[in-house]
Structure 1
Amino acid sequence: MNQAPSNSTPLPAQTACAPEDFALPLYYSIGFALMVFAISTVLMIPVFALIPGFNENLVETAGGLVFQGVALLGFAITYRKYYANRVLAAMAWVRPASSRLLLGVTLVTYPAMEWVSWHLPGIEADIGWMFSISQGVPIPLLILSIVILAPLVEELFFRQMLWQSLEHKWHKPWLTCTITSALWAIIHTQYTMWAVAYIFTNGLLLGFLRHKGGSILPCIGLHMLMNLIATLSLFYGWGPYGEVAF
C-alpha cells in the first residue's frame, strides 16, 4: 500500500490520466475506501454528541459531512504523496478531450434520462424517503452535502481512483465502466430497485464521459447537476415531486 506507482513523464493534458501513469494498485483503492469509512465512523461519535436534541436527520447529514471531509482529505494526501508535481493530472482534473462530443451527448441523453426517472415505478416511495430525511436539516447543509461534496467524493473514487486501478489491471474500459457503475449503484440501495437501476444507467453515462474525455470534470459537473435538480425539485415541487402528498 505504500509502494509508489510509476513516476513516468506526464502525457498531454487530454490524456494525462492514462492508467499506466497514474493508477494506484487495486488493493490500495479498496483499502482507501475501508480506511475512510473506519476513520469517519470514529470521528462521527463526538460529532453526534454535540448535536443538540439528537435530530436524527441532522445527525445523518452531519455524519455524511464528516465522511465526505475525511474522504477529500484522504484524496489530497494520497495524490500529493505519490504525484507531488502532477496532482491535478493524477486526479484527472484536466480539460477533457472531445468537449463538443461530450457536451452534445450529455445534452441529448441526460434530459431523456431525467424524464425517465420521473416515470419510474415506485417514484413516490423514493420521493417520500428523500423528503423525510430532509426534515429539520438546514437547506445550506443539504446543498453542501448532496450537491457539492457527494459528487466530488463519489466521482473522485468511482470514476478516478477505482477507475484507474481497474483500467490498469484489465485495460477494458467498458468492463471498468460496468463495475464502477454497479458499485456506485449498490451504495444507493436505500432507494427502490427501479431507482437503483436508474442510478446504474447514470453511472454508465458518467463512465462514457470519463472514458471519452479522459477527465473527471464532466463527471463531477453532471453529477452535481443531477443532484441539484433532484434537490430543487424536492423543495419546489417540480415534476412528480409536486404530485406526492407528504
Structure 2
Amino acid sequence: MSVSDGGPPGAAPGGPEPQPEAPSPWADPTSSWTVPDVAAGAPARVDGAPVSHAGAAAGPTQAAGSWPAAPAGLPPAAGSWSGQPAAGPHAAWPAAPAGLRQAPPGPYGSWLPPPRRGLAALAAPAAPRTHRWGLPAFLLAEAVFLLVSAAAGVLLIGGSLGSDGPPVDVWVFVVATAVPTLAAAAVAVAVTWLRGNGPRIDLGLTWSGRDVAIGLGLGFAGLFVSTAAAAVWVAIVGPDVSSAVGDALDGLRAPWPVALAVLVAVVLVAPFCEEILYRGLLWGAVEKLGAGPWLAFVITTVVFAFAHFELVRAPLLLVIAIPIGLARLITGRLGASIVAHSVNNLLPGIALYLMLVGVPLPAPA
C-alpha cells in the first residue's frame, strides 16, 4: 500500500502522523539574533525592541550573521551597537575612538593608546585619577606641617636656636624636626583613605625591584651632580651656606645613639615623609587638575625646592630635586623616588653623625 499524495512526507504506512518539528529558536525574531535583525540599515533588535551596544556586546555570537562579540578593551561609549550597521550580515565597528588606535591583527582587535615618542615615552603612563581629593588636601597637609613645626619650636626648643640662647639638646631637636614631617605625611595618607582609594593606588606607594634599581641609579647620579653643584654654589655664595639642620647642630656633641637617630631621621624618615607629601599628594592633586606627568614633575620639583624655606639654597635644592622627581616620573610610583631621596641624603646624614660624635670633618675649600 502506497502513501497517499496528500500524506505528510516521511509518514510510515498505517503509523501515527509525525509531530511537527519544533521551531528553531534562531528563527524567532523576537528572542534571538538573526540575519534579518541586523540587515543593512536596520538597528539591532531583540525581543522586538532596539537594544544598546551594552546588550549586544554582552555575549558571543549566537548565530550565523549575528552581531559579533565586542572587541576586547573597547570603551562602552566608543561603539554603536544600536546604530546603523554596515552593509551585509555583520556590522562593522566605527573608527577608533579619539586618541586610541586599533591593535592588529584583524578588525576586532583591542583599542590601544597611540605609541608614545620622545620625552613622553620616558614618563610612565598616568594612572586614572578616581580619588575625590585634590589640591586642598595638599594645602591641608602643608598647613599641618607648619602648625606642628611652630608648636614644636615653641614648646620643645624655645629660645635655644637664638644666638644668645643655650645650645639645643640634640635629642629634642630630632623630635622637633621629625614630628611635623610625620604629622603631614599621616594627614596625606589619611586623606587617601577617607577620600580616595588608599595610598597604594592614589599616591603610588608601592615597591618593586625595578623601582629600587632605578631609585639607586638616579639617587647616586643625583648625589654626584648635587655634590658638584654644591661646590659651585659655595664658590659663588661663600662657605657659610649650609642647611638649616646643619646650622642648628653645628658645634654640638651627642652620644652615638642620638647621633644615629639624627642619621635615621635625615636618611630614612625625612625622604619617606617628604615623598608622600610632595611627589605623592601634590603630584596626584596636580594630575587631578588635568596636568600630565611632565607638568606634575615640574610643579612638584619647584614646590619641593622652595618648601624648605631656605631661599639662599633654593637653586641648589632645585638641582637636588630633579633626579628624585625623575625617579617618580619614570616609574609612576613613590618607591623609586623614596630610594633616590634617601641616597641623596646619605652623605649629609653621615656628615651630621660624624660631627655629633666628634669626628673632625675637612673644611670646605
Common fold, TM-score beyond 0.5? yes
Q: How does 1:135-174 map to 2 (within 5 A)?
A: 135-136=252-253, 138-174=258-294
Aligned to 1:18: 127
TM-superposed CA distance for 1:143, in Å, is 1.8
1:76 equivalenced with 2:189 (yes/no): yes
Gaps of 5+ in 1: 1-14
Answer yes or no: is the 8 Å Cα contact 2:283–2:296 preserved in 1: yes
1:125 equivalenced with 2:240 (yes/no): yes
Aligned to 2:139: 30
In structure 2, the CA distance between the partners of 1:39 and 1:19, relative to structure 1 (3 Å rule), is farther
In structure 2, the CA distance between the partners of 1:132 and 1:92, relative to structure 1 (3 Å rule), is same
State how far apart, in whole Å, the 1-side matches of 2:216 and 2:155 are: 47
Question: Per-residue CA shift, 1:91-121, capped at 9, x if unaligned?
Answer: 3112369659836852773253144135223
Larger RCO (CA under 8 A, 6+ residues apart): 1
- The code of the aligned residue for 1:144 comes to V
Answer yes or no: is the 8 Å Cα contact 1:127–1:234 preserved in 2: no
Aligned to 1:185: 305
Aligned to 2:314: 196
- The code of the aligned residue for 2:232 comes to L
In structure 2, the CA distance between the partners of 1:126 and 1:91, relative to structure 1 (3 Å rule), is same
- Larger proportion of helix: 1
Question: Per-residue CA shift, 1:2-24, capped at 9, x if unaligned?
Answer: xxxxxxxxxxxxx8972513472
In structure 2, the CA distance between the partners of 1:78 and 1:219, relative to structure 1 (3 Å rule), is same
1:41 equivalenced with 2:161 (yes/no): no
Question: So what's the TM-score if we normalise by structure 1?
Answer: 0.72
Which structure: larger Rg?
2
Aligned residues, how many? 223
Identity %: 15
In structure 2, the CA distance between the partners of 1:23 and 1:120, relative to structure 1 (3 Å rule), is farther
State how far apart, in whole Å, the 1-side matches of 2:244 and 2:199 are: 38
State how far apart, in whole Å, the 2-side matches of 1:94 and 1:118 are: 32
Q: How does 1:196-235 map to 2 (within 5 A)?
A: 196-235=314-353
State how far apart, in whole Å, the 1-side matches of 2:212 and 2:343 are: 18
Question: Per-residue CA shift, 1:32-87, capped at 9, x if unaligned?
Answer: 211342245346544447x9x96436454332122123223323322232346x44
TM-superposed CA distance for 1:166, in Å, is 0.6
TM-superposed CA distance for 1:196, in Å, is 2.5
